[in-house]
Amino acid sequence: MRRRSSTGVLKPKGRATVWQRLSKGKKLIVVVFLVWLIQALPKWYVALTADGLLSARIMKVFITPQSESRNDKDQAQ
C-alpha cells in the first residue's frame, strides 16, 4: 500500500487510489453500507439513550422481524 518516492522514502497511497482500484461491485457495497450507516446511526442513538419504555418500543421496531410484528398487531385487535 505504500510506494517509494524518488528519494527512497515510503509514502502512503491516497484513499482515492484505493477507491479507484475497487471493482464496481465493491464500490456499490461500500456506498450502500455508508447510506445505511448514515440512516441508522441517529435511530440507534435515540433508541439506546431514550428512557426505558421509549427505548423498548424503538428497539422492538428495529429488532422484531416483520412476521412477529404483524402477529402482535393481530393479537392486539
Closest CA to 28 of 36, 39, 38: 36
Note the pLDDT of residue 4.
54
Domain assignments of the chain as residue spans, ordered by start:
23-76
Can you say whether residue 10 is alpha, beta or left, with left for phi > 0 and alpha for psi between -120 and 50 degrees?
Answer: beta
Distance CA(4)–CA(26), nearest Å, equals 27
Q: Give this prediction's pTM.
A: 0.47
Q: Which cell is 23 given? A: 471493482
Question: What pLDDT digit, counting tens, does each position of 5-60 carry?
Answer: 566 665 656 777 888 888 999 999 999 999 999 988 888 887 778 777 877 777 77
